[in-house]
Structure 1
Amino acid sequence: MSTKGLTGSLKTMSLPDLLQWAGSGRKTGTLSLKSGPLHKKIYFQHGAIIGSSSNDTREYLGQFMLSEGIITEQQLKDAFDLQAQTKVMLGRILVKKGLVSEGKVGEILRLKAEETIYSLFLWTESDFAFLENELPPGDQVLISIKVEDVLMEGLRRYDTSKKIRQALPHNGVVLKKTAKPLPPDIASKVFPKRIHDLVDGRRTLADIILEAHASEYNVCQVLYVLVQKGYLEVGKGAALAAARAPADTPQALMEAAKELIKSGDSEGALVILEKARRTAGKNPEMNALIQVAEEHFIDKAYRHYLPPKKIPVLKKPLESLMSQDLSPEEGFLVSRVNGSWDLRSIISISPLREVDALRAFKKLRERGIIDLVEAQARSA
């Protein structure tokens, strides 16, 4: 039976201090951290880290498989379809279909667990709670890492991330290839080669991150190295939109959002809450309200204007959409509209959160870029 132990925020106790506390105290239990909609956990046994979990879409097994080039989006979509019928775990389905070995699945699951832990070193705001004696679920793949090893790599990533942001200051940056060819030691590696291939002088950093199905840090770290070595250069990039401070206080905006939720306009509430969150700082009430608004929006979207089994089709040629000023999220989704995948399938292989993908699809439909048709109507 678990009991709540140490609680607080990263403002008052840093992640390195937390890890050292758990390691030196030979703690057994779960360190739970929440930041906005994201919830991550680190599992300890006798002071050693034995696993982690995350609700961040980009840290799901399927996204790791895509980022490593192990499977294709079509293969992941087919695996999800089979999973919906059989309820078998994704890794086992991929092994049974002969797409990957059991050993490789275990390797990726361990990598996934480690990446979730390292990503926390880049969090600046989070509430945490340590649940004494709470261990991971029985189906969790266990790892074994010493706290000191995690600290060394995590702090290295933190220092590197500051250098990266000096070279790539925002996600609207556009990169382009130089005349310098990739050497064999880089070209032979799947992930760096893929990231280099995604650079075309038009895609923004945000576009590349989505296309790569990988974490922002891992993509930016590769791009940073390629820029430093002269294989890529930073173009003029997209203008970074200036953040406008909301005219009202966060509390007033929250009250307005509550009224919108009551009236059924959950999307309008989300727009207001996103503005409020920029100035509110840590606010548990706001985070709870955002969660309610997101749940209402998802439910309404599927029931009324984005039925999950309908198939999106382009109303305009893909080439003509280059001038439509699509957001990175809209651009990613549009490029997956192939006339045969339904909405739920596209969302399932996307690195986007479900609510963000649905909001982007709604905008695409409202702008007349896509339409939705019945599956049988499309195949007729």
Structure 2
Amino acid sequence: MSITGNLKTMELAELLQWLSMSKKTGTLVVDNGSVQKQIFFGEGRVISSASSDPSEHLGAFLVSHGFVTENELAQAIKMQESNKMLLGKILTTVGAISDEDLHRMLRLKAEEGIYDVFTWPEGDFRFLDKKLPETHHMVPLSLDVAGIVLEGMQRLDEWKRIREEIPDARCVPVVVAEFDESVLTEGAPQVLALIDDDRTVEDICRKLFANEFHVCRILLRQKLSGRIKLVRPRSKGAAAPAPASGATPNVGLTGEALVEAARQLLTRQELDAALRHVRAARALEPDNQKVAAAAQKIDDRLRQEFESSGLRLDSIPVLARPMEELAKMSLTPQEGFALTRIDGSSDLAALIKLGPLPALDTQLLFWRLSKNGLIKFTSKR
């Protein structure tokens, strides 16, 4: 028996509970016009899921949550083309991820894909009774529908709270203080490393192949901790930047005031704070030519400071301490990411190209690591 309808007339929670209580076996297909989800049932329990959204494909999901790198994923996909093995099996075989972490992430991916449907205002659905894909095309799971429904309803409430602070994906996160490490979750280092005071939330999602909820949840924790603010990009000729809904208004704060503060910070050798103020000034008044010119001068002074400290583009960073020791230290997401990219042969210019941050931000990052005695620089032989 095939069941059809729309989420406007039958809510997802009610639909899932009916399929569970009826101990149905088959495939629930839900389509909102842009994304199609498939939820596979076996005797009333969710046994697997699939989605047409690229951010929910296993490889992208593992990258966005920080379990594998893009290079590891690319190599695994290349191997899959020749041996036709499941992607997860390839990644565990080559040691990119443990069996335990893979199973946990597969379960999380299936749950996240279903939770996402709770946020859909509408969508057509149909249940294909007794129809399932071949077992070797599915990763076997067994999820209780009651737990999924409860979490899904909570997720809907959380998404509403997120939207009060981050109204849409066009908002630009701007760093105003060091990140709060006490609220970091899986995938947070990858998301936070992409904040450059210019990328929008949408840009970060696209760069990581991550869904918007995952990125916004991480950003919201930092915003509530007072570590970032969110602004909306404005068009040419706009009178003033529009702060994101829920943001604390900065009465009297101007781009010129931020640049002047950056000059003073630079004089005191507080380079991190100086660059943050410059980035904030540009984000606050992107069309102000006077601010842009003053900010560029500070950028140039920062580059001169780095070069005088030995951070030339052709210099090679090497670890000054064992990686085992570094792994136990309290590092920012950007610092941890940078340290994992140091191989003893790539120069600073090459590492800048590989990293997600702008060149100046990357130089500042390596300057800080050097100043703290975590790395040192050698010249090319």
State the TM-score, normalizing by the size of structure 2.
Answer: 0.58
Alignment partner, residue 160 of structure 2: 162
Equivalent residue in structure 2 for 1:134, among 131, 134, 151: 131
Q: How many angstroms apart in 2 are the aligned matches of 1:94 and 1:50?
A: 22
Q: Measured at CA, do residues 17 and 238 of structure 1 come closer, stay the same or move farther in structure 2, by a change above 3 Å? A: farther
Q: Identical aligned pairs, as a percentage?
A: 36
Alignment partner, residue 191 of structure 2: 195
Equivalent residue in structure 1 for 2:215, among 212, 219, 238: 219
Displacement of 1:26 in angstroms is 2.4
Displacement of 1:191 in angstroms is 1.6
Equivalent residue in structure 2 for 1:232, among 228, 240, 243: 228
Q: How many angstroms apart in 1 are the aligned matches of 2:64 and 2:55?
A: 10
Alignment partner, residue 80 of structure 1: 77
Q: How many angstroms apart in 1 are the aligned matches of 2:145 and 2:232?
A: 42
Q: Measured at CA, do residues 225 and 234 of structure 1 come closer, stay the same or move farther in structure 2, by a change above 3 Å? A: same
Give per-residue Cα distances to partners, 1:155-203, cap 9 Å, x unaligned: 1111111221221112111111122x3344335x442233222222111
Paired residues for 1:1-150 under 5 Å: 3-4=1-2, 6-139=3-136, 140-150=138-148
Q: How many angstroms apart in 1 are the aligned matches of 2:152 and 2:127?
A: 20
Give 3-state SS (helix, strand or coil) of 1:163's partner.
helix
Give 3-state SS (helix, strand or coil) of 1:235's partner.
strand
Give 3-state SS (helix, strand or coil) of 1:70's partner.
coil
Q: Measured at CA, do residues 236 and 101 of structure 1 come closer, stay the same or move farther in structure 2, by a change above 3 Å? A: closer
Q: Measured at CA, do residues 239 and 152 of structure 1 come closer, stay the same or move farther in structure 2, by a change above 3 Å? A: farther
Which amino acid in structure 2 is aligned with residue 10 of structure 1?
L
Which stretches of structure 1, 4 residues or longer, exceed 4 Å deviation after superposition?
none
Which amino acid in structure 2 is aligned with residue 61 of structure 1?
L
Q: How many angstroms apart in 1 are the aligned matches of 2:192 and 2:13?
A: 33
CA contact (8 A) 1:19 1:147 kept: yes
Query: Relative to structure 2, which stretch is displaced further, 59-68 or 159-168?
Result: 159-168
Which amino acid in structure 2 is aligned with residue 7 of structure 1?
T
Q: How many angstroms apart in 1 are the aligned matches of 2:40 and 2:231?
A: 43
Larger radius of gyration: 2
Q: How many angstroms apart in 1 are the aligned matches of 2:9 and 2:41?
A: 21
Give 3-state SS (helix, strand or coil) of 1:12's partner.
coil
Displacement of 1:100 in angstroms is 1.8
Displacement of 1:45 in angstroms is 2.4
Displacement of 1:47 in angstroms is 2.2
Give per-residue Cα distances to partners, 1:308-327, cap 9 Å, x unaligned: xxxxxxxxxxxxxxx9xxxx
Give 3-state SS (helix, strand or coil) of 2:5's partner.
strand
CA contact (8 A) 2:65 2:190 kept: no
Query: Relative to structure 2, which stretch is displaced further, 16-25 or 190-199?
Result: 190-199
- Corresponding pairs, count: 236
CA contact (8 A) 1:10 1:128 kept: yes
Which amino acid in structure 1 is aligned with residue 100 of structure 2?
G
Displacement of 1:213 in angstroms is 2.4
Which amino acid in structure 2 is aligned with residue 203 of structure 1?
R
Which amino acid in structure 2 is aligned with residue 48 of structure 1?
R
Displacement of 1:238 in angstroms is 4.2
Give per-residue Cα distances to partners, 1:289-319, cap 9 Å, x unaligned: xxxxxxxxxxxxxxxxxxxxxxxxxxxxxxx
CA contact (8 A) 1:118 1:153 kept: yes
Q: Measured at CA, do residues 11 and 224 of structure 1 come closer, stay the same or move farther in structure 2, by a change above 3 Å? A: same
Q: Which has the higher contact order (CA 8 A, sep 6+)?
A: 1
Displacement of 1:91 in angstroms is 1.6
Residue ranges of structure 2 left out of the alignment (5+ in a row): 237-285, 287-381
Q: How many angstroms apart in 2 are the aligned matches of 1:239 and 1:118?
A: 35
CA-based RMSD = 2.2
Displacement of 1:137 in angstroms is 2.9
Paired residues for 1:313-332 under 5 Å: none
Give 3-state SS (helix, strand or coil) of 1:152's partner.
helix
Alignment partner, residue 210 of structure 1: 206
CA contact (8 A) 1:195 1:208 kept: yes
Give per-residue Cα distances to partners, 1:257-304, cap 9 Å, x unaligned: xxxxxxxxxxxxxxxxxxxxxxxxxxxxxxxxxxxxxxxxxxxxxxxx
Q: Measured at CA, do residues 235 and 37 of structure 1 come closer, stay the same or move farther in structure 2, by a change above 3 Å? A: closer
State the TM-score, normalizing by the size of structure 1.
Answer: 0.58
